Structure 1
Amino acid sequence: MSQYSHLSEPDPELPGSIPRIGGPGPLTEDMIPAMRQALDVPLNQRLDVYKTRLPSDSAYKLEDHTVAVEGGEIIVRTVSPILAGGENGPLPVLVYFHGGGWAFGGLDTNDFDLRILSVELRLVIINVDYRLAPEHHFPTGLNDCYAALKWTVENARKIGGSTEKGFLVCGASSGANLAAAVAHRSLKDPFFENHKVTGQILQIPALVHPAAYPPEYASELLSYEQNKNAPILSKELMDFLYRLSPLLTDPTGLPPSYLQICGLDPLRDEGLLYKRLLREQGVLTKLDIYPGVPHGFHAILPGMRAAKKWEEDLRQGIKWVFNSSV
């Protein structure tokens, strides 16, 4: 039994019935369009919640930019706070990669909450609309995200930001996977020699395919089976979606890292192990755990006390990363 098994005990506030993404029977690529359509329902409900909290249009500047990538173009959406009287710019930057199993989501997934976060924390946010599987196979999405990271370095000043003030990567689920992957990749790239990524924010990260679990960590990676039938995200769906494995890459030299982990999540233990491996290599880490709630609960059930704590913890986690990288 995993030392973290107790984290799977359901939160008393958790509804008795929460649907899993997908459906009965094996998942196949031809189901993707219907699954995307089904996911629009909770997305729109989530947008309705955040819409009531949006700052005034005069508080920020919203722009879509075209970024050239191999084989085409992608869009990045920037949110730049309007400087208040006496406030000095440029501002720190945060590059955001949405979640959705590498196959779902887009600019709208976190559009409203990123606007709120940008204005509240006074940072320029770059929201990346990377190309999705299965239409675009790996490593297309990863390469798109890396191109967006480079675009940020080249254009930060134009959008009111400065990588010298702070240069974070952030994502949830598969987006956290992409954030971790580009942070690793940038370490040895001369392009980033004078523009180091200064922090990573990894929310419910997907970090390694279970087929590639290192044997020496097998006793610590039990949540994939323990929570295989968890609501929202199941083992079956993850088997269908998994692609990248940042957990297997040497973490030496990575910047301060903040992680948010759900207890009732198949991905729980790999996130906890990643945090330990980072710390063992001297990387500053901060971790918040949410016992008894499933993967992505904060998006589906924003009214839960744990979801409100998640939001506040994220803000404090970002501040911690900035302060730790100074």
Structure 2
Amino acid sequence: MTQFKLSEEWKLACCISLVTELSLIDSQFERNNSVSPPPTTIDDYQIIKAQRGALAQECLKRDAFKPLVDDVQVENLKISLPEVVGHRFPIRIYRPSLTPEEKLPIMLYFHGGYWCAGDANSEDLGCRAIIARGSEVIIVSFFYRPVTDVPWHTVFSDAEYAMKWLASSAQEFGGDTSQGFLIGGAESGAHLAALCAVRARNRYPNIRLTGQVLIVPTLIAWPDPQIPRDWADRLKSHVEHADDPVLNETLYEKLVEKLNVFADARRDGDNFPMWADLRDLPPTYLAMDECDPTRDQGFLYEALLSEAGVRTRTDFYPGLPNMFVQFPDLPTTAIAGFHLSVGVSWLLNPGT
């Protein structure tokens, strides 16, 4: 695990930037909704997540973000999945601006938002950074249906079907899965990515995923009275960071409850990968923050993967909150974008 220690000056700069950005979101939120964050309800959370995505798009107009615009081609499309009748799914495709004639590795990416919020905009800067900072890969960002519109198992199946679709359609977008087929996401998107890795191994012998990118993943339906004692002892962040400002434990549990997953399905590894047999899963890159009730889920999963013989690599950012990368003005965010690109390159080049 690579731990990025922050100097006191750097921490102060991060805190000032975070306060500035939260204040900006706060003022916009109050103007539009007469309610102040941090969010305490799912409705609040959906609005703030959308505002973060909008702010990320505004950042692309700044000179500092010019490489993320100039070095990346972006295309928005809608697709149909054979298993889903009557719905077209938005996708956003990212390619290097100087795309070579030969096919490139491809990655399927799921946005965060704890199954009920977010879209391609909220993850846009990270996807752009992967390519702009040097990874030769095509990224397909997939907009699954939220649990506010469909049952939990449909959300999970949307991700699975998207994986099946891209496995057979990669060449249409300049991709070649034999060069590399990654799956990734953030928060709930990381959960869907990990879920797909398990289902690919269990259900689709013709699909060969070559890596996972898991950014602050949530991998278990917490709380659950039947969680093994040794797991519970290693998930202290749910208590230690219960009152953190960006995502608190109360809101997190409301978001999990909104899934409405019945008890047995909560402990099925095909649904929540922490419960799965983790052998023979693809190498995994994780990016982890500290001030986050879900933090220890990622670290526990890393440990369980390693015990199962899966190669892992983790970057850890002490002192930073849940999904700090959605605050573009934080000094560490640009660095994290570079590290994310390096992590993807590590997955694409197994010998490194």
Compute the TM-score of the two structures, normalised by the length of structure 2.
0.80
Q: Spell out, residue by residue over 1:1-50, the C-alpha distance to the aligned partner (whole angstroms, 9 max, x if none).
A: xxxxx99x994332485575423xxx3xxx52x54334333322222223
Tell me, in whole angstroms, the C-alpha distance in 1 between the residues paired with 2:331 and 2:192: 28
Q: Does 1:286 align with 2:300?
A: no
1:183 to 192, 197, 203: 197
Q: Does 1:99 align with 2:126?
A: no
Q: Does 1:64 align with 2:77?
A: yes
1:312 to 326, 329, 338: 338
> How many residue pairs end up in the alignment?
308
Instruction: Give the alignment of 1:64-213 within 5 angstroms.
Output: 64-68=77-81, 69-73=83-87, 74-81=89-96, 83-84=98-99, 87-111=100-124, 113-118=126-131, 120-190=134-204, 193-212=205-224, 213=227
Compute the TM-score of the two structures, normalised by the length of structure 1.
0.85
Is residue 126–residue 337 contact of structure 2 (8 Å, CA) maintained in 1?
A: no
Q: Tell me the CA shift for residue 206 of structure 1.
A: 0.6
Is residue 63–residue 79 contact of structure 1 (8 Å, CA) maintained in 2?
A: no
SS in 2 for 1:140: helix
Number of the residue aligned with 1:3: none
Is residue 67–residue 76 contact of structure 1 (8 Å, CA) maintained in 2?
A: no
Q: Which runs of 4+ in 1 moved over 6 A?
A: none
Q: Tell me the CA shift for residue 80 of structure 1.
A: 3.3
Is residue 256–residue 325 contact of structure 1 (8 Å, CA) maintained in 2?
A: no
Q: Does 1:231 align with 2:258?
A: no
Tell me, in whole angstroms, the C-alpha distance in 1 between the residues paired with 2:251 and 2:323: 14
Is residue 129–residue 337 contact of structure 2 (8 Å, CA) maintained in 1?
A: no
1:51/1:156 Cα in 2 relative to 1: closer, same or farther (>3 Å)? Answer: farther
Q: Does 1:46 align with 2:56?
A: yes
Matched residue type, 1:207: L
Tell me, in whole angstroms, the C-alpha distance in 2 between the residues paired with 1:99 and 1:82: 26
1:126/1:107 Cα in 2 relative to 1: closer, same or farther (>3 Å)? Answer: same
Tell me, in whole angstroms, the C-alpha distance in 1 between the residues paired with 2:311 and 2:254: 33
Tell me, in whole angstroms, the C-alpha distance in 2 between the residues paired with 1:50 and 1:117: 15
Is residue 226–residue 266 contact of structure 1 (8 Å, CA) maintained in 2?
A: yes
Structure 1: gaps spanning 5 or more residues: 1-5
Is residue 51–residue 112 contact of structure 1 (8 Å, CA) maintained in 2?
A: no
Q: Spell out, residue by residue over 1:86-113, the C-alpha distance to the aligned partner (whole angstroms, 9 max, x if none).
A: x451000010000011100123222354
After the TM superposition, which of the residue ranges 44-53 and 169-178 deviates more from structure 2? Answer: 44-53
After the TM superposition, which of the residue ranges 151-160 and 210-219 deviates more from structure 2? Answer: 210-219
Is residue 290–residue 318 contact of structure 2 (8 Å, CA) maintained in 1?
A: yes
Matched residue type, 2:278: P
1:291/1:157 Cα in 2 relative to 1: closer, same or farther (>3 Å)? Answer: same
Q: Spell out, residue by residue over 1:243-297, the C-alpha distance to the aligned partner (whole angstroms, 9 max, x if none).
A: 5522111111101100011111111111111101100111000011111111011
**Cα RMSD over matched residues?**
2.7
After the TM superposition, which of the residue ranges 306-315 and 230-239 deviates more from structure 2? Answer: 306-315
Tell me, in whole angstroms, the C-alpha distance in 2 between the residues paired with 1:325 and 1:127: 27
1:297 to 295, 299, 324: 324
Matched residue type, 2:220: V
Tell me, in whole angstroms, the C-alpha distance in 1 between the residues paired with 2:76 and 2:136: 17
Tell me, in whole angstroms, the C-alpha distance in 1 between the residues paired with 2:317 and 2:284: 17
After the TM superposition, which of the residue ranges 45-54 and 149-158 deviates more from structure 2? Answer: 45-54
Number of the residue aligned with 1:263: 290
1:169/1:44 Cα in 2 relative to 1: closer, same or farther (>3 Å)? Answer: same
Matched residue type, 1:94: M
Q: Spell out, residue by residue over 1:217-264, the C-alpha distance to the aligned partner (whole angstroms, 9 max, x if none).
A: 222110001100101111011101125522111111101100011111
Q: Tell me the CA shift for residue 61 of structure 1.
A: 5.7
1:250 to 242, 255, 277: 277
Tell me, in whole angstroms, the C-alpha distance in 1 between the residues paired with 2:130 and 2:61: 13
Q: Does 1:14 align with 2:15?
A: yes
Identity percentage of aligned residues? 30
Q: Which one has a larger percent helix, Structure 1 or Structure 2?
A: 2
1:51/1:253 Cα in 2 relative to 1: closer, same or farther (>3 Å)? Answer: farther
1:21/1:102 Cα in 2 relative to 1: closer, same or farther (>3 Å)? Answer: farther
1:214/1:298 Cα in 2 relative to 1: closer, same or farther (>3 Å)? Answer: same
Matched residue type, 1:307: T
